[in-house]
Amino acid sequence: MKIISINAGSSSLKFSLFNMDNEEVIASGVFERIGIDGSKFTIKYDGEKIEQEIELVNHTDAVKVLLEKLIDLRIIKSLDEIDGVGHRLVHGKDKYSQSVIITDEVVQDLENFKEFAPLHNPANVLGINAFREALPDVAMVGVFDTAFHQTMSKENFLYPVPYKWYEEYGVRKYGFHGTSHRYITKSVEKLLGRKDFKLISCHIGNGGSIAAVKDMQCVDTSMGFTPLAGIMMGTRSGDIDSSIIPYVMEKEGKNASEVVDDLNKVSGLLGLSEYSNDMRDILEKCEEQDEKALLARSKYVRRIVDYIAQYYVLLNGVDVICFTAGVGENSIPIRREVCEKLACLGVEIDLDANNQRGEFVKLSTDNSKIDVYVIPTDEELMIARDTLELIKR
């Protein structure tokens, strides 16, 4: 069976086409600058890479071109080979705790919840509608970033603010990167051969979040009402004192939205280093002993360690710590520094094992009290698996 995993942004559409008989990626790619001058697409398949500039007025155009190219490039013989389409959906509020077949009700909910994810939910709807138009008889599945975290207790998902804010406005921790954390959780289940384990999953990339997992269920996670909360990220501040917002508003003559925009787009690594949001650039600058880069690196590590330590106590000990996503999978120095600061918890890693990038590897030594792994995440495969499971029911 062939399944397409889709991640639709406001001006982009990423896809991966899987043969689910062996979970092989047949083709993947991205359509960029949709509705903007200079729109183009890139498709990778069978060792080839096709790039082409083409006018894409909207997502319907992008989907039409994608499906045409799949046939023109002989990746598939006909559209009848596509058995399902899985869509990454960012925000399902607290209504959706698992993936679902997409219905009119689901689409309407995405519209209703758009104030919680104004950049993402409307784009997700555009992607869904475009595929519904192009493939009206093919089942569509929605996989929510927020779903995995819906097992959190009220003690962990509520904020210490007036309770009516939760009841009337939906103010609570939702958490994100749930599809990645769930993929890591299932990978650890397969690795250990059991479901009764305690895991701290560290999804660390340009965006980042950490999840505490017990017996396959999320207990707590670092991102909150929005993806701005939690650890320090590439351009996001992570947790700060909220009183900073009105203070900076007054100092710089900005409104609240403008300050929050600064916290999302020019803070984090970029804000502290005043150089880059990319950890690779920061590490290069650290080699030059740049003071601000060194500070940004140190703070970044510290915030990750803080959350791991917090969740170690919450879970009353931990069996496995996993690193994943861009920095987690590829940054040898950051992994080493995080683990060195966890030595007091009994973490010990093999430095030779740590000298790998982008691969599954056990970092911890036999003497380590906690197993530490790098497990490359695969959200697209998780979406395809959910899609297959639901359409086969």
Q: Is 145 designated active site?
A: yes
User: What separation in angstroms does the CA of 368 have from each of 30, 57, 321, 342?
Assistant: 42, 55, 11, 11
Q: Token digits for 124? A: 């997700």
User: What separation in angstroms does the CA of 28 have from each of 13, 20, 24, 35, 77?
Assistant: 11, 14, 11, 21, 17
Whole-number Å distance between alpha carbons of 216 and 189:
8
Q: Token digits for 332? A: 């040898």
Sign of the CA dihedral with 280 first, then 286, 290, and 293 last: positive
Catalytic residue among 61, 109, 145, 386: 145
Instruction: Give the pairing of strands 100-101 and 361-362.
Output: unpaired
The number of CA neighbours under 13 Å toward the Cβ of 171 is: 10
Q: What are phi and psi of 372, to 5 degrees?
A: -125, 130
User: Which residues form the catalytic set?
Assistant: 145
